[in-house]
A and B are shown apart, each in its own frame.
Chain A
């Protein structure tokens, strides 16, 4: 179909979103999009979520941190933030979601708020609370694996 003339096309806002999780989780665009739709539908109902029209555009996953761009209709950015805040887990893996910023174009959004790799992570043996454990280390942040899941820590907790 012939595309709409410019003044009739919908206006969009692009949200740069950071998704953080434990090291054993795997995130991808499809599951994130599904959770976002569920979150929006549960919060606003069918009508409201169709209005906000939330779409995940890019998804750059890197170990425990993923960077992504979420498109929302202009004027529905606050709703988009609310729906994003309600994403608690993706496919059973708990996640932290943070909006880094909002832009009017995809290009501005990725140039200003997305930095590519979020920092390299490595496996290391650490002593946490007097026990020897394996940890995934990213900058000064550590995810220490234990018998019942991971514990978030920083270098300050080791000394």
Chain B
């Protein structure tokens, strides 16, 4: 299972600190949502026994800016995430097969509907269930976040759109273990398995993209493999 985290300077802890905490919390790896953070991935992977996925979370004011960023980052990073939060950005993200994940679609003024859910399914864009406001806010803010989360869940379930789950930790202290998140998920109407599957999805995505980026991949259906040599 994987968790997608913010690392210093986007968050309060460096990638290596979050990664070592994630190991203890029973995660197989972390996805770094690099907004400004650029840790030395190769070195961290060598030194730590937990996988670290090089991701980028694109924070753009509007679809035009986001579009340029997607083109820039797609060849460089293993995972490309777009932060939603407005209807325009949500719609842009789910209509781009080049985008892997639409994060926090229900934040701020963002909303979701059947059109976006269908587009997300058809383009294979994962929609993020953001548990951060459930974990770290209270009162009216939390109630609104919960009701939006419920709406998103119902749409995603009905249209069978792909999804990921994250607590969106900004430091090693905000990390929560998969079993705790599953327990919380059950309380707020999710299936236990649904939450765990959403955490596994990060890993599956990373694996798929690494295969696509590897040198042996040439085009869909065309790969360089190992063949018997002529004698």
Contact = CB atoms under 8 A, between A and B. Distances in A.
Interface of A: 20-22, 42-44, 78-82, 84-86, 88, 94-99, 140-142, 149-154, 156-157
A21 B173 CA distance: 7
B200 interface: no
B138 A42 contact: yes
B145 to A, nearest CB: 12
A82 B135 CA distance: 9
A141 B135 contact: no
Given A81-B179, A88-B135, A94-B173, A154 B186 contact: no
Given A78-B183, A97-B176, A86 B12 contact: no
Interface stretch (B15-23, B73-81, B97-105, B206-214): B15-23
Contacts of B187: 43-44, 79, 82
Interface of B: 8, 12-14, 16-18, 20-21, 24-25, 43-44, 47-48, 134-136, 138, 142, 171-177, 179-184, 186-187
Contacts of B17: 141-142, 152-154, 157
Contacts of B21: 96
B177 A157 contact: no
25 contacts: A20-B172, A80-B183, A81-B179, A82-B183, A82-B184, A82-B186, A85-B177, A85-B183, A85-B184, A88-B135, A88-B136, A94-B171, A96-B173, A97-B180, A98-B180, A140-B20, A151-B8, A151-B12, A151-B13, A153-B14, A153-B16, A153-B17, A156-B16, A156-B43, A156-B47
